[in-house]
Amino acid sequence: MKLSKRLSGLSHLSSALVESSLPANISYFWNFGSILGICLVIQIASGVVLAMHYTPHVDLAFISVEHIMRDVNLGWLIRYSHANGASFFFMFVYVHIARGLYFGSYTKPRVFVWSIGVIIFLIMMGTAFLGYVLPWGQMSFWAATVITNMLSAIPWIGQDFVQFVWGGFSVDNATLNRFFSLHYLLPFLLAGLVIMHILALHKHGSNNPMGFESHMDKTRLHDLFTVKDIHGFILFFLLFSFFVFFYPNVMGHPDNYIPANPLVTPAHIVPEWYFLPFYAILRSIPSKLGGVIAMIGAILILLALPFLHTAWVRSATFRPIHKFLFWIFVGNFLILGYLGGAPMEAPYTIVGVYSTVFYFSYFLIINPLVGIFENVMILLFSFRKRIKC
């Protein structure tokens, strides 16, 4: 009886992972989902090993990281894999989201899949921020001070809430311990959400470059798409290894190799590169509370996309105006990333305001209006065709 249940479970797993059908025309852009799964495994595995040698204490954290780098067997490889793995994780997440925006993967019937993905992205950002603080370098300490101070913008309870997060009156040992505990636990929550994301995806299947549902031109996951995934894994590991072995610090900040000093403020405090677009949005709003709301809203607005979508056609493949504006949006996002690392002075502040306005306008105004315009054009074209007939 137990054996039959196990065999039944294996058959269900096989049908879900191996025999599930996918659109035959999906491109390599659909590989990034499986590559992100590999990134998550790398982060959890390397993070667990690092936690075995890390000491979450303000006097020992920086020294323990140096101990990992110098004394632990292959500790340098594990730490560099973890640090660069975070950068690659976000790099591929941004491509994954961009693919969803371009091909309209957020529309019905995949609203639930998209919503879980946005929540994963939000928790990823929180987890990455907590991890950035742990080396207790100069940039880690001051980034933690600046970012947590933003909570003081909450009306009435702001300052008390900041002190609750700190565990005292400043970023100190209690803060570091709390951040370490959360940074260790949240990736397992992420893993659970990723499983939910995959299960929700299997319910309706993957989108495709054409953007319409088809139950005819489909093929099994194995062996066509597993071979494509393996090809993607090989290219990923080649690129990942190149950075880990040859340029391990190129995506980090040199000030983090200086021990944290609460008495010396860095000339220019910046977060990691993957936070820079949202950091630029935060700095573009003169009000402290407004900046915090705008920064969080810049992520949460992705949840509203399925309800702001007005076009009858889903994919940008058949929407030339949307395609053009999408690439302008991508360019604007890259500009925001550059502005996030630039000093707070003209002309960067002025450009930041315009880029922030365009960012929100793209989702709230431009995209819905373009969709309505395209729908009108489709009606006029079909009406004109009927008259000719």
Binding region: 82, 96, 183, 197, 202
Distance CA 116, CA 118 (A): 5
What pairs with residue 137 in β-bridges? 259
DSSP summary character for residue 55: -
Per the annotation, binding residues for heme b are: 82, 96, 183, 197
Q: Which of 46, 64, 253, 272 is catalytic?
A: 272
233 vs 254: CA distance, rounded Å = 30
State the binding site for a ubiquinone.
Answer: 202
**Active-site hit among 204, 228, 288, 309:** 228
Q: How far apart are alpha carbons 308 and 30 in whole angstroms?
A: 24
Q: Mark whether 202 is an active-site residue.
A: yes
DSSP, residue by residue, 180-197: HHHHHHHHHHHHHHHHHH
The C-alpha angle 96, 98, 103, rounded to 5 degrees, equals 100
Q: Which of 81, 87, 229, 355 is catalytic?
A: 229
Instruction: Provide the 8-state DSSP code for 259.
Output: B
* 81 is a catalytic site residue: no
Do residues 47 and 83 touch, judged by C-beta distance below 8 A?
no
Choosing from 206, 284, 315, 355, which is the catalytic residue?
Answer: 206
**What DSSP designation does 137 have?**
B
User: Radius of gyration (Cα) for the chain, nearest Å?
Assistant: 23
Judging by DSSP bridges, how do beta strands 21-23 and 218-220 pair with one another? antiparallel
Q: Which of 57, 67, 202, 218 is catalytic?
A: 202
Check: CB of residue 364 under 8 Å from CB of residue 329.
no
What residue type is assigned to position 250 of the chain? V
Give start and end residues of each alpha helix (H) in 171-287. 173-204, 226-246, 276-284
228 given a catalytic annotation: yes
In the chain, DSSP assigns E strands to 21-23, 218-220
Q: What are phi and psi of 218, to 5 degrees?
A: -130, 155
3-state secondary structure of 74: coil
Helices and strands of the chain, counted as H and E runs: 14, 2
Q: How many CB atoms lie within 10 A of CB 39?
A: 22
Which of 303, 327, 321, 304 shows the shortest CA–CA distance to 371?
A: 321
Which residues are catalytically annotated? 202, 206, 228-229, 272
